[in-house]
Every structure is written in C-alpha cells, then in structure tokens.
C-alpha cells in the first residue's frame, strides 16, 4: 500500500476492509476512513495515517463513513494523538454512532471530537482567529 498526496487529493488506499483517502485543505488535512476498522487492519491504518501528520497542518480524522469499529480501533486515536503532539499540531475526530459507542459523549471523550468535517474546520478556523486577536495588540504595541 503506497499512497502519497499529489496536489490536493490522494488516491484511495485499501487496508483489509477499510479505505483511506486524504484531502489537503486550507485549514487541515482531512483523512477519511470508510469501511471496517478492527484488530486485523488497525496497525496498517495507523501506519498509513501517521504519514499525514505534518508540522503546522492540523489533521481531521473523518470516521463518519466507518461501518464497523472494534475496540482495537481505539489504538488509532493513541497513535494520532502521539504523532500530533510530537509535531505540535491540532487534530480532531469526526465521529458517527458506530465510533461514538466506544468513545462516549463528545464532552466526555478523551480526544477532540466533532460531528462533521464542516464543524471541525470551523473550530480550527475559530482557533486561528482567536490566536490572531491575541497577537494583534502585541504587534501594535511593538510597532
């Protein structure tokens, strides 16, 4: 399985019942996984999504099209959290009822969770705007 992002969209990679596709967007790289995530393919998926963690580029892990999510899939979140912390980038999970059963309610989830890619990108944009508002007065004072 070799997939590299070419331009703005990558080809789809097959991982034993799961399909992975990455889109480079202005605010983040959106990695979409569809199909089944279980003990058979979780390590392969984890290795693949690690490739999309790039410095200064948030990651949105879109699991809205996942049809089966076993408890082994929770390892993906640990892998992504570790990689993103190491690179200093924000990340979010777009969940669905299948994934949400294991993660719990959004407010109680151990990782940043949202209901759609649109919400995730809006959250990231709001964070950028908030940081700009904090920095702007400092820039004006030093001028």
Domains and CATH numbers, the chain: 10-140 (3.30.750.24)
> How crowded is residue 141: how many other Cβ atoms within 10 Å of its Cβ?
7
Contact 40, 16 (CB under 8 A): yes
Q: Where are the beta strands (DSSP E) in the chain?
A: 13-15, 18-24, 29-37, 59-69, 91-94, 113-114
Whether the predicted pLDDT of 4 surpasses 60: no
| pLDDT score, position 109 | 77
Nearest of 45, 117, 51, 114 to residue 74 by alpha carbon: 45
Whether the predicted pLDDT of 142 surpasses 70: no
- Look up residue 76 and give its two tokens: 């993906």
Q: What does the mean pLDDT of the chain come to? A: 84
The tens digit of pLDDT for each residue in 34-87 reads: 999 999 999 999 999 999 998 788 999 999 999 999 999 998 999 899 999 999
pTM score: 0.82
| Greater pLDDT, 55 or 114 | 114
| pLDDT score, position 5 | 44
CA distance 50 to 79: 8
Whether the predicted pLDDT of 113 surpasses 70: yes
**Upper half-sphere CA count for residue 95 (Cβ side, 13 Å):** 23
Contact 114, 30 (CB under 8 A): no
- Look up residue 75 and give its two tokens: 């390892």
Band (pLDDT 50/70/90 cuts) for residue 133 is low
């Amino acid at each position: 399985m070799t997939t590299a992002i070419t331009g703005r969209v990558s080809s789809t990679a097959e991982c034993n019942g799961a399909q992975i596709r990455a889109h480079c967007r202005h605010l983040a790289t959106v990695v979409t996984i569809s199909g089944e995530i279980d003990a058979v393919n979780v390590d392969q998926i984890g290795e693949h999504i690690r490739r999309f963690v790039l410095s200064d580029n948030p990651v949105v892990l879109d699991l809205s099209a996942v049809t089966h999510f076993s408890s082994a899939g929770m390892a993906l979140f640990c892998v992504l959290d570790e990689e993103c912390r190491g690179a200093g980038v924000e990340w979010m999970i777009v969940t669905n009822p299948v994934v949400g059963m294991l993660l719990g309610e959004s407010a109680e989830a151990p990782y940043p969770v949202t209901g759609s890619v649109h919400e995730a990108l809006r959250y990231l944009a709001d964070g950028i705007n908030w940081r700009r508002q904090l920095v702007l007065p400092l820039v004006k004072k030093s001028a």
